[in-house]
């Protein structure tokens, strides 16, 4: 099958795939805050899908649409098979991880180190597009280690685009694979937005999404003057209500819920998850930042942190925490 190039998000915002963070509970919560943003799964390795419990890794709530599956891998056969298995789950996009600098990712020969092997990534794109009619996209950095000039970035983009990838999500930092931890790689290498803007100028036929350091509506508006979309990372997790503010910014007619209303909307979901055997903390840990910057934010975090892990804890923890908040929150 060939890719359908027409799927575009109505709001030019997406939420980055973040390991240990953007699981299905986090995404359900974020969807209440932004009906339109494209959500990404945590990275899942193709090998885990092909050789493991694929349903565990691939299932998600229907409410999470639009949603992209991020795959990690470098074997075209495995990537194609993982894509084929994902086809029945109705994802809106499948993304190849060529941006993660973590040591465990490098040892598996995928992530940012693959920027040095664009032909391998291109082979994966070709193989995957044969198994799906949804977009196969790529998330990368602007460079790796000392290979961080614009010529290197172009040498990666061109063969992958020629293989059929039309959407690139580019984290505007170089990945330092030797000498920096994954956490340091998110902040220490300097941002170079202009490098990503240049990509869009040189390849106007491609859809270019920028990622890295975006933490305000003003920043998002500025980058969207030069590229097609903005991907939000840590800001969306630590201050999730920012997503609602972004949604309202792009869709002034949207009835933006209050933080309290978001909590109330989460209660039925929490009850369903508890009934299926999920622990309360597995859901509520993603909600700790909901009141960030508001009166009572510390009390909200503390109450949930102290009560959500207790035996028998239920959705009343959320209601009690909410009731303890100042009225102005």
- Residue with token string 């949604």: 247
Half-sphere exposure of 183 (CA within 13 A, CB side): 0
Asked if residues 113 and 156 have their Cβ atoms less than 8 Å apart, the reply is: no
Catalytic residue among 26, 100, 113, 165: 100
Alpha-carbon distance 172 to 168, whole Å? Answer: 12
Alpha-carbon distance 78 to 50, whole Å? Answer: 7
Nearest one of 65, 70, 68 to 34, comparing CA atoms: 65
Do the strands 44-45 and 93-98 form a parallel or antiparallel pair, or are they unpaired? unpaired
Asked if residues 243 and 286 have their Cβ atoms less than 8 Å apart, the reply is: no
Please enumerate in sequence order all residues whose Cβ is within 8 A of that of 275, keeping only pairs 6 or more positions apart, or say none: none
Asked if residues 136 and 105 have their Cβ atoms less than 8 Å apart, the reply is: no
Task: State yes or no: is 100 an active-site residue.
Answer: yes
Give long-range contacts, CB 8 A cutoff, 24+ apart: 154-157. 154/199, 154/202, 155/118, 156/98, 156/115, 156/118, 156/121, 157/118, 157/199, 157/203, 157/206
Which of the residues are catalytic?
A: 100
């Amino acid at each position: 099958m060939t890719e359908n190039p027409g799927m575009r998000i109505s709001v030019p915002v997406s939420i980055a795939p973040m390991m240990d963070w953007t699981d299905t509970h986090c995404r359900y919560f974020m969807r209440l805050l932004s009906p339109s943003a494209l959500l990404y799964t945590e990275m899942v390795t193709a090998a885990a899908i092909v050789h493991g419990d694929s349903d565990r890794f691939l299932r998600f709530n229907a409410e999470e649409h639009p949603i992209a599956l991020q795959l990690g891998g470098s074997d075209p056969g495995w990537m194609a098979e993982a894509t084929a298995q994902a086809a029945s789950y109705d994802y809106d996009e499948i993304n190849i991880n060529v941006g993660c600098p973590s040591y465990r990712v490098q040892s598996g020969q995928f992530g940012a180190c693959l920027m040095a092997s664009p032909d391998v990534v291109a082979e994966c794109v070709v193989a995957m597009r044969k198994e799906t009619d949804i977009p196969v996209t790529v998330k990368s950095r602007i460079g790796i280690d000392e290979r961080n000039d614009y010529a290197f970035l172009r040498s990666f983009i061109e063969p992958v685009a020629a293989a059929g990838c039309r959407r690139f999500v580019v984290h505007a930092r170089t990945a330092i694979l030797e000498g920096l931890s994954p956490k340091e790689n998110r902040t220490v290498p300097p941002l170079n937005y202009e490098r990503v803007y240049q990509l869009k100028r040189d390849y106007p036929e491609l859809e270019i999404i920028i990622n890295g350091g975006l933490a305000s509506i003003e920043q998002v508006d500025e980058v969207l003057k030069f590229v097609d979309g903005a991907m939000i990372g840590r800001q969306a997790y630590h201050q999730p209500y920012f997503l609602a503010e972004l949604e309202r910014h792009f869709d002034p007619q949207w009835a933006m819920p209050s933080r309290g209303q978001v909590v109330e909307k989460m209660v039925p979901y929490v009850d369903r998850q508890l009934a299926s055997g999920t622990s309360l903390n597995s859901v509520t840990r993603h909600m700790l930042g909901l009141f960030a910057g508001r009166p009572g934010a510390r009390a909200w975090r503390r109450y949930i942190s102290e009560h959500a892990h207790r035996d028998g804890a239920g959705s009343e923890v959320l209601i009690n925490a909410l009731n303890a908040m100042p009225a102005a929150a």
